[in-house]
Structure 1
């Protein structure tokens, strides 16, 4: 049935979406130059329609690809709203990989990250198959739980404050499946993956942000309450829609969703006098109806009507739902200073940012090195713009909240590469 739907989606492709491929080494963020990427329609992997190569930053050019009409993703439909492509990636000194099912939506920017393993005799070619999107495929509905977990049971709460973790451990199956693999996934990457699997990037920005906030709050409830560890499991969360959200190993994300997560990632949803993030459950609102939970399709309609993210959330969860911020973000050298850094700024925060950019430039040769003088001048402005261009941020030269944490994230990654060398 899926192959038939795939042919229909390809045959009716009248719109375009774009795709950028980012290839790095699996052991860190080291970019892989001159990787060869062959793109074909899923179902016809030998019929290459595009061939790309990666640059010094491990990134391909952005390519335009056929996609079904955008209307298919703007209301529930039996028609598959995205095209699927197969990517074959090869690079000297690394194992090749095949990714089947990269999803392209009309008028959106897809990002496919590829992590290659070093070439070793014991390794075999990796194959990733991305399953159907949750709004199109058939998945079990969420089993209802209390949105606030009891705190009076011994051992129930392990953390004393809400912390954004650097990583979550995802169990790729139902909790009781001992054969399912566990994956260490960066928190932001996990949220971007889930959101790209659960909603469509063609939806209004306010809808995307409301759904991202719900996904993050749910996830942080699992982190804060040590939900699965207190049940004797060795993971943070599962990929089962019956218990948690749908996470898909190796799937592509969308830039529209990525930008929302980068801006909101330290936030969660809370109620008065409740310290833990709320377990904000949701359903599609079409095949499954869930009173008092967020409806994904319903939230799309509210966003189209001009509702703001908090208004969408309160429409479903009640007027006493609030957006809160975590007290601590793990895995970063220091927090955002609380104000934008730009031309004319000076001080220790500028100096630290300059040091981070120079360290990153040691791994990404397309980025310039700059004087570390604590003064945000033209050279620092150029370096920030170059960094933003490479890592998918608006290249405005302003170190705002998303840019500061993206610089910190990449700095930590390349610093760990240096430790391994």
Structure 2
């Protein structure tokens, strides 16, 4: 067995569930693939014990790495047990600064991709991402209620003549008033995939995922259409704060089935009859937070 491609697991029961992770390495300029990058994976609970080591191929990707995960039932019904397992992923490549992503979330019976962008060693010493807990497992600030349809008499005056699906949006990684929070230019589709992976479980039925993705897209396009934050004097499109918008997690892994659904309907949104603008589709979990008249997960 090669030193560069091995796996070491503790003894597992025959009923052990598994999820699968694929790492995709590209350069930060031009997004060229990085072949022969070394990828090491360890459980977050025992970060010094590497359980998987492999390398990327000529297109900068690893194969699908099978990793232990909790029973699928944990993510299909409300439960006290964490429904996903967490792993630390370290990536290194000759000529590039190392990247580490901690607490990558692996759900059972689901494939996911960990995108990694690497910078040359002359411009970076390395980067660390820490994936925050999933919104259905951790209690984040609840959404502050807003009208689902914005009028031109509100601060967020409508300025666009029609609904346009942007290629990029600017995500403010914190509450609107936090001037220390960083702004990130993110492709619109990648933003939707990230939010959906952070706010719903990829193990849910396909129809449920479709409905939630539509809600996320409608909310986001309402922010774009009304230029809500720019009309308030901010230089971004949307925030990562659950009190104001959706939870976006910089550097997190994306579930394949969620990505495919987003790609298939990315130019759709929800609206009311005779109303052109997308609905600001607010929702909550319906258990930890009650939200009469909203969507519930």
**TM-score interval w.r.t. the shorter chain?**
over 0.9
1:220-251, Cα deviation, whole Å (9 max, x unpaired): 00000000000000000000000000000000
Q: Could you say which residue in structure 1 is the equivalent of 2:78?
A: 76
Q: Could you say which residue in structure 1 is the equivalent of 2:35?
A: 33
Higher helix share: 1
Gaps of 5+ in 1: 1-10, 297-421
- Pairwise mapping of residues 97-116 of structure 1 onto structure 2 (< 5 A)? 97-116=99-118
Counterparts in 2 of 1:45 and 1:160: CA distance versus 1, 3 Å: same
Q: Could you say which residue in structure 1 is the equivalent of 2:120?
A: 118
Matched, 1:55 2:51: no
- Pairwise mapping of residues 251-330 of structure 1 onto structure 2 (< 5 A)? 251-296=252-297
SS at structure 2 position matched to 1:111:
strand
Higher strand share: 2
What is the distance in 2 between the residues matched to 1:254 and 1:282?
21
SS at structure 2 position matched to 1:110:
strand
Q: Could you say which residue in structure 2 is the equivalent of 1:385?
A: none
What is the distance in 1 between the residues matched to 2:42 and 2:207?
34
What is the distance in 1 between the residues matched to 2:277 and 2:288?
30
Shift of 1:155: 7.7
SS at structure 1 position matched to 2:97:
coil
SS at structure 2 position matched to 1:259:
helix
Counterparts in 2 of 1:145 and 1:61: CA distance versus 1, 3 Å: same
SS at structure 1 position matched to 2:270:
strand
SS at structure 1 position matched to 2:91:
strand
Counterparts in 2 of 1:52 and 1:204: CA distance versus 1, 3 Å: same
**How high is the TM-score relative to the length of structure 1?**
0.66
- Pairwise mapping of residues 175-324 of structure 1 onto structure 2 (< 5 A)? 175-296=176-297
What is the distance in 2 between the residues matched to 1:159 and 1:107?
42
Moved over 2 A (4+): 11-14, 151-155
What is the distance in 2 between the residues matched to 1:97 and 1:256?
25
Gaps of 5+ in 2: 1-11
What is the distance in 1 between the residues matched to 2:182 and 2:267?
27
| Kept after mapping to 2: 8 A contact 1:281/1:294 | yes
**How high is the TM-score relative to the length of structure 2?**
0.93
| Kept after mapping to 1: 8 A contact 2:156/2:232 | no
- Pairwise mapping of residues 322-401 of structure 1 onto structure 2 (< 5 A)? none
Shift of 1:156: 1.1
Shift of 1:43: 3.0
Q: Say which is worse superposed, 111-120 or 238-247, in terms of deviation.
A: 111-120
Counterparts in 2 of 1:27 and 1:70: CA distance versus 1, 3 Å: same
What is the distance in 2 between the residues matched to 1:256 and 1:137?
23
Q: CA RMSD in A?
A: 1.6
